[in-house]
């Protein structure tokens, strides 16, 4: 049995559709479909029912999923331990981060690349979290209450937020989160929500247009032209900024070098993340 067929099966299960799985894997939809058909032929049973709302797992899929996840974990463990013994400052490091945090990494990554030209950098910037356990990334730069049990790294600082409005306005309607990010929505329950977005950058631009007010991380709101904090609304969130890797990769020279470099560079930006950047201090 081909491990790649199982990998495509897992992506389809997690994404919920062939199209989304193809986007996640960086291939076309026909490749995903062909791989899953090959696995179904190998097993002699259908794994999905294609419906109007996407893929529906068959009864056999649940048993296959359990074993596929075990294989994935073993392959990831083998890969991480092999990479973790790499003592040379060369090779590829994959960095997973949120879309708005990626902007804070550009200059640190530039200086790192100049210092270590034989290390190739791959950045995945999306709100969906790439798993260190599943070997989907080597480093993760995220806002989180704390690292998962298998991760090690550096806590950089707290992340603070505030209400923001277009300069000189006081809108009564709000802008909230949509989609995957709605689980993080802290918009008050008793206010009218004008629009929802799945990106803090889009939320900030919507605030600047006058569409409504929004609770934004200070490192987003304070860098967006045309918007200002609502006085007295600065507050700590439940998240801190972390730079993390899997415990099996902590001995990898290239991963360790990048982790230390990013941690140092982001600590210099701590006033921005904690809402104390000198150019935009909160007025109480």
What is the pLDDT, as a whole number, of residue 66? Answer: 84
Domain at 88-284, CATH class: alpha beta
Confidence grade of residue 53 (pLDDT, cut at 50, 70, 90): low
* DSSP SS3 for 44: coil
Q: Would the pLDDT of 82 be above 80?
A: no
Short-list 138, 144, 91, 98, CA closest to 119: 91
Q: Would the pLDDT of 126 be above 70?
A: yes
Helix boundaries (H) for 116-184 = none
Confidence grade of residue 52 (pLDDT, cut at 50, 70, 90): low
The rounded distance, in Å, linking the Cα atoms of 224 and 160 is: 16
Report the pLDDT averaged over residues 119-127: 90
The 10s digit of each residue's pLDDT in 195-240 is 999 889 999 999 999 999 999 999 999 999 999 999 999 998 888 9
The 10s digit of each residue's pLDDT in 129-185 is 787 877 788 999 999 888 777 789 999 999 999 999 999 999 999 999 887 777 777
Range from 86-95, 182-191, 261-270 that averages highest in pLDDT = 261-270
The rounded distance, in Å, linking the Cα atoms of 36 and 42 is: 10
Confidence grade of residue 80 (pLDDT, cut at 50, 70, 90): low
In the chain, CATH 1.10.10.10 covers 3-84
* DSSP SS3 for 226: coil
Confidence grade of residue 83 (pLDDT, cut at 50, 70, 90): low
The rounded distance, in Å, linking the Cα atoms of 213 and 241 is: 24
What is the pLDDT, as a whole number, of residue 174? Answer: 94
- Among 48-57, 94-103, 177-186, name the one with the lowest average pLDDT: 48-57
The rounded distance, in Å, linking the Cα atoms of 217 and 104 is: 13
- Which helix (DSSP H) or strand (DSSP E) does residue 96 occupy? strand 91-97
Short-list 13, 127, 157, CA closest to 72: 13
Q: Would the pLDDT of 107 be above 80?
A: yes
> In degrees, to the nearest 5, what angle opens at C-alpha 181 toward C-alphas 239 and 102?
65
Confidence grade of residue 259 (pLDDT, cut at 50, 70, 90): very high
Report the pLDDT averaged over residues 252-280: 89
Report the pLDDT averaged over residues 12-36: 85
CB atoms within 10 A of CB 280: 16
Query: Into which CATH architecture does domain 3-84 fall?
Result: Orthogonal Bundle (1.10)
What is the pLDDT, as a whole number, of residue 67? Answer: 84
Residues pairing with 121 in the sheet: 93
Average pLDDT over the chain reads 86
Global pTM value: 0.68
- Which helix (DSSP H) or strand (DSSP E) does residue 144 occupy? strand 139-144
The dihedral sign for the CA sequence 138, 139, 145, 150: positive
Report the pLDDT averaged over residues 120-132: 85
In the chain, CATH 3.40.190.290 covers 88-284
Q: What is the DSSP string of 173-219?
A: SEEEE-GGGGGG----TTS-EEEEES-HHHHHHHHHTTS-BEEEEHH
Confidence grade of residue 284 (pLDDT, cut at 50, 70, 90): very low
């Amino acid at each position: 049995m081909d491990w790649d067929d199982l990998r495509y099966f897992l992506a389809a299960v997690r994404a919920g559709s062939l199209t989304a799985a193809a986007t996640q894997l960086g291939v076309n939809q026909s490749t995903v479909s062909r791989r899953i058909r090959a696995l179904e032929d190998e097993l002699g049973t259908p794994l999905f029912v294609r419906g109007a709302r996407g893929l529906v797992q068959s009864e056999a899929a649940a048993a296959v999923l359990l074993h596929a996840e075990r294989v994935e974990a073993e392959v990831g463990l083998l890969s991480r331990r092999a990479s973790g013994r790499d003592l040379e400052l060369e090779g590829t490091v994959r960095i997973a981060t949120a879309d708005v945090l990626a902007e804070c990494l550009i200059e640190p990554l530039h200086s790192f690349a100049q210092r270590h030209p034989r290390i190739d950098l791959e950045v995945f910037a999306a709100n969906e979290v790439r798993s260190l356990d599943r070997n989907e990334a080597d480093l993760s730069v995220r806002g989180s209450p704390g690292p998962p049990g298998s991760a090690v790294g550096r806590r950089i600082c707290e992340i603070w937020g505030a209400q923001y409005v277009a300069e000189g306005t006081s809108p009564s309607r709000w802008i909230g989160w949509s989609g995957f990010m709605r689980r993080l929505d802290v918009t008050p329950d008793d206010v009218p929500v004008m629009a929802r977005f799945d990106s803090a950058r889009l939320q900030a631009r919507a605030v600047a247009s006058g569409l409504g007010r929004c609770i934004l991380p200070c490192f987003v709101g304070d860098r967006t032209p045309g918007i200002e904090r609502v006085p007295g609304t600065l507050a700590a969130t439940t998240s801190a900024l972390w730079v993390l890797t899997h415990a099996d990769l902590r001995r990898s020279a290239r991963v360790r070098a990048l982790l230390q470099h990013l941690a140092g560079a982001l600590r210099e930006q701590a006033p921005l993340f904690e809402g104390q950047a000198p150019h935009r201090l909160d007025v109480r």
